[in-house]
Structure 1
Amino acid sequence: MSKIFPEVIKNLPEADIPLDGITAFLSQGDQHQIIFMEFEKDVDLPEHEHESQYGIVLEGKIELTIDGVKNTFVKGDRYYIPSGVKHFGKIFAGYADMTFFNEKDRYSKK
């Protein structure tokens, strides 16, 4: 599916993320993960929380409600979710991003 990411990214292990219509590649660090994600379908994200997260939108649109504040992010935007802050949202088909998770085991390899 990946149209946005070059081979060097597509050669990374796929991340096991329990969402329909996602392709995600995992770069694993000692204390963090970086995930390169693409969505071919709309996805509703239920409310949840985890360690801090920083994302850069590469394509498409995502709506995130972070700590009660709704935002829409599009190509070129950045977002930050502090550790332990509840958030939920909607990811639209065609969305792609690069996301840093400040936890080494957020996702496992497929």
Structure 2
Amino acid sequence: MAEHKISDEVMANTELLAKLALTDEEREKSRQEMEKILGYVDKLNELDTEGVEPLISLFPVENVFREDKVVNGDMRDELVDLAPRKKDGQYLVPKTVE
């Protein structure tokens, strides 16, 4: 397993992208944690996955198709009646552009 060393430049870019301002102590701890993560991922590359189909989801996912049905129908008149101001079956709104 190759040992991963994260450079100061990579740490600076990581801080910038994550919008973090780390102290020297926090930066060093983060560097160590990131190196552990890279080591773990590198270790996963040693697994023999020959013949193993990639997994998309842990749970079986099936599309549920349903017939489209209109459930509320034409409520235009009822909705216009709720407006505080209306004219000729339409909403009446204040003029916003002269």
TM-score interval, smaller chain: under 0.3
TM-score (norm 2): 0.20
- The higher relative CO (CA closer than 8 Å, separation ≥ 6) is in 1
Which has more strand, going by share of residues? Answer: 1
- Asked which structure has the greater CA Rg, the reply is 2
TM-score (norm 1): 0.18
